[in-house]
Amino acid sequence: MRPSRLTLRCNQIQRLFIVFATCLIFLSITPRVALLFDSTGASVDGSFRISSLDSDRYIEFHATRSVGGDVSGQTIFRDDAVRPHTTTDGESQESQPFFFKADVDCLVINKGTAVMSGSITDSNSRPYLGRRVLVVAQDNGGTDDQSKRDRLTWGIYRLYNQSWLPSDSERSADEVDPLAWIATDSERPDDQGVVSNHEQVIGCQSFPLSSFSFVNPSQGKGTVRVRP
């Protein structure tokens, strides 16, 4: 029995509807995939254990820089050494292991090396709050060869505020804006000037890569994953 023209027509419409629905599904998924791809940027993460005679120290870190340039991440440091200290009453007590957390606000990646910097936001030692942290991590592929292991170094820096204030004898104190004023030499047109209220903040671009000295591979071991 041959199918009627109406049946054939219905089958054609049904096939067209299936093709149309499939196209809509792909069109709705593709932009989301593209958006997810475009939102990913450079990143670094890893962890290290550094051993010494009296303690083990641990550091973990992760940082991401989006395509738009926004940087986020965190560094966590812990020193398990328990050292005695003297209280105000003259009694000797054991201190808690030292730790801090820092929020990463700057990330620079040069091939397999990542430089991160940020401010300490949490610590069991109050004087460390607000200090700057610099972490340099090198991804060498995770090989077991001691000379080619992933490497790490870090530093903690105090904030330095410049206390002296350059002034201009031809301007009154009311005319000086300490947030924006620059002192220059009128006899030197090439003088770029000195900012009157200058704060030196350590960041991921404060030092060249060649100036860093990494932890000895025999003392520190860990993994670093850099995605430029």
* 59 and 5 within one domain: no
123-167 pLDDT, tens digit per residue, is 999 999 999 999 999 999 866 676 788 999 999 998 765 554 455
Domain that holds residue 194: 163-198
226: left (phi over 0), alpha (psi -120 to 50) or beta: beta
Spatial separation of the C-alpha atoms in residues 114 and 197, rounded to whole Å: 31
29 & 96 share domain? no
* pLDDT on residue 24: 52
Query: Are 142 and 83 in a shared domain?
Result: yes
Condensed to tens digits (0 to 9), the pLDDT of residues 169-208 reads 554 444 444 444 455 555 555 555 554 444 578 899 999 9
Tens of pLDDT, residue by residue over 10-27, are 566 666 556 555 555 544
- Do residues 168 and 149 both lie within one domain? no
The full DSSP string for 113-157 is: EEEEEEEEEEESSGGGTT-EEEEEEE---S-S-GGGS-EEEEEEE
Quick one: tokens of 175? 């005319």
| pLDDT for residue 180 | 43
- 84-119, pLDDT tens digit by residue? 555 556 565 566 789 999 999 999 999 899 999 999
pTM strictly above 0.75: no
Question: Do 125 and 219 belong to one domain?
Answer: yes
